[in-house]
A and B are shown apart, each in its own frame.
Chain A
Amino acid sequence: MQPVTTVHYLALSLALLLIGTVGVLTRRNIVIILMSIELILNAVNINLIAFSNQLQNVNGQIFAIFVITDAVAEAAVGLGILIALFRNKETVLADEVNLLKW
């Protein structure tokens, strides 16, 4: 059986980045858009850990912990704003949030 190398991890993270990007650009539900953004940040984490393992250098793992913290903070603020929005206009669909245009 073939061993898992850094290149495999990079392919996985690139796939996650693309899936997340497509999700952000095409989904209507704001909660799912937030989840797609989490996917992108997880792609970053996989990259960092794979490189950290390959280079035998701990900086990447520390960076990954900061990225995880940041993802949590962003989700907390995002859901808070979404609740404020939902109170004033009962929707979680991005295309119905349309007061501001051109």
Chain B
Amino acid sequence: MSQFYTTTDHFVLAPALMLALFGCAILLFDFLLFPNPKDRKWLTLFLLAGEAFCGYGLWRQQAFLSANGMNEITAFQGSLTIDGFALFFNWIFVIATVVVAIVSYHYLEIEGEHHGEYYALILFAQCGMFFLAAGTDLITLFIGLELMALCFYVMVGFLRAERRSNEAAMKYLLLGAFSSGFLAYGFSIMYGISGSTKLSDVASAFASRDPWDPMILLAIATTSVGLLFKISAAPFHMWAPDAYEGAPTTVTAYLSVASKAASFAFLLRIFMGPLATSRPVWEPLLAAVAIATMTFGNLAAISQNNIKRLLAYSSISHAGYMLLGLIAGNRTGLNGVAVYVMVYTFMNLGAFLVVIAMRRKGIAGEDVDDLAGLMHKSPGYALLMLVFLLSLAGLPPTAGFLGKYYIFLSLIETGHYTLAVVATLYVAVAIYYYFRIVKSMFIPEQFEPAPLSTSLGLRVALGVTGVLTLVIGVYPEPFLRMAQTSLMR
């Protein structure tokens, strides 16, 4: 092979290549082979095959790294890097995508908007996430981000006949494109300072300058606006509740976990890479943002009646907790962010899966009151929802406790006592609004006698997320080790 596309390049790119190829194949086959809408169930199997190939590629990379005792493989003249960090996040993306894909068929049939492009868009979005977790070049990261974001704009507006969905997509696109513009502006300044688009070159150029240099301040300010928007941190969080409420619930679930995990991978790559030496500049800024994010997220969630909107505000507050790990910045803190992202993926997906089961023909099932009497109608769903909510609130013995534990531990280790106290107090607020849902589930009256919608995919997905949420909480050893190896450098 030529020097422009070596076998190493191919080895590193293979998982993303598989996702893109299967995405294109789904578009083509949906058009050519399956003109009958009933045949669309094959597209789910196609997507799963693509994920299997992607997972195989990741597994081979992991085996290669551990067999040769290497920390990373770089490709494309250093613009892609496969290390423990990239692999850890990519496994999260694979699991989240598979869970969302197997519940989508039944849900989209109920919504009456079942189109083949949906599966292709999911795969393309995951392809963008791969580049966000593995990219080490400003251009690669920017294109990965835009690939993911453009797919999500379309998926949020997937219910074309529904005004709420159109509106959510429009707001998400306008604010998303605006923040991408700021991010790109920050990247252009970084390029100007260092004369290179490689993160390592940018990092050494930043390290050789005074962190209070006005050009560096401009780069940090504009880049932070873009990044904080993507993780929906206050004051750039206002898109999240609208996008989450208006989008189809399967897309909301995917947006809230996979997009957030990818954005955090991106955030860590930038803040622990080029901006690491400017820590005195951004640490107080991020601390203020984290407190504001937890305040807005938790206090606004109290008065919500729509479950999707409530979970949206709760996911904003979770972004605040994850930021705290970056502010602490020691090993425990970064490890805590990795654990928190993993745990959050399973518990938040699980909570949204129960909301998906509430959607039946003619019944929206999105309000807290719609869950009334769920314990008596379908105890299995109610108990699973209880586990997910306990975990989201951060109570032991569920996985959510573990995530919060490491974040708080790192804050105390680095002497951020005020932040630790504030974060702990907000857990009490969070327990209040999560238990509003629990209370509603356990009251005896039933307002809607119709049974919950169910499918094989939904039951498998709920089983996987429920078991993982409990197992990580009770027996965390192997998962902690996985998160620790992800940060080996």
Q: A74-B150, A74-B173 are in contact. Are A100 and B168 (CB under 8 A)?
A: yes
Q: Which of A41, A59, A84, A102 contacts B166 (CB 8 A)?
A: A84
Q: A30-B174, A78-B174 are in contact. Are A40 and B146 (CB under 8 A)?
A: no
Cβ of B236 under 8 Å from chain A: no
B191 touches A60 (CB 8 A): yes
Q: Binding site of A, secondary structure by majority: helix, strand, loop or mixed? A: helix
Q: Which of B146, B166, B180, B182 contacts A85 (CB 8 A)?
A: B166
Task: Name the B residues within 8 Å of A47 (CB-CB).
Answer: 185, 188-189, 192
Q: What's the nearest-Cβ distance from chain A to residue B77, in Å?
A: 11
Per-residue A-contact encoding for B137-170, CB less than 8 Å = 1, 0 else: 0110011001000100110010011111011111
Per-residue A-contact encoding for B178-214, CB less than 8 Å = 1, 0 else: 1011101101110110011100000000000000000
Scoring A24, A43, A63 by chain B CB atoms within 10 A of each residue's CB, the highest score goes to: A63
Task: Name the B residues within 8 Å of A80 (CB-CB).
Answer: 154
Within 44-102 of A, Cβ neighbours of B (below 8 Å) are at: 44, 47-48, 50-51, 54-55, 57, 59-60, 62-63, 66-67, 70, 73-74, 77-78, 80-82, 84-85, 88-89, 94, 97, 99-100, 102
Cβ of B171 under 8 Å from chain A: yes
Cβ of B245 under 8 Å from chain A: yes
CA distance A64 to B189 in the complex (A): 13
Number of residues on chain B facing chain A (CB within 8 A): 43
B188 touches A34 (CB 8 A): no
B174 touches A44 (CB 8 A): no
A37 touches B174 (CB 8 A): yes
A85 touches B170 (CB 8 A): yes
A37 touches B170 (CB 8 A): no
Task: Name the B residues within 8 Å of A99 (CB-CB).
Answer: 163-164, 167, 246
Cβ of B83 under 8 Å from chain A: no
CA distance A67 to B153 in the complex (A): 18
A40 touches B181 (CB 8 A): yes
Going nearest first, the 9 A-B pairs with the smallest beta carbon separation are: A40-B181, A51-B192, A47-B188, A85-B166, A100-B242, A44-B184, A55-B195, A88-B163, A81-B169
Chain A residues within 8 Å of B, Cβ to Cβ:
17, 20, 24, 30, 33-34, 37, 40-41, 43-44, 47-48, 50-51, 54-55, 57, 59-60, 62-63, 66-67, 70, 73-74, 77-78, 80-82, 84-85, 88-89, 94, 97, 99-100, 102
24 intermolecular pairs with C-beta atoms under 8 Å apart:
A24-B178, A37-B174, A40-B182, A44-B181, A44-B184, A44-B187, A44-B188, A47-B192, A55-B195, A59-B196, A60-B188, A66-B139, A66-B142, A70-B146, A70-B184, A74-B150, A74-B177, A77-B150, A81-B169, A84-B169, A85-B167, A97-B167, A100-B242, A102-B303
20 new A-B contacts at CB < 8 Å, known A70-B146, A82-B170, A94-B174 = A34-B174, A41-B181, A47-B192, A55-B192, A63-B138, A63-B188, A63-B191, A67-B142, A77-B154, A77-B173, A81-B154, A84-B157, A85-B167, A85-B169, A85-B170, A97-B171, A99-B246, A100-B167, A100-B242, A102-B303
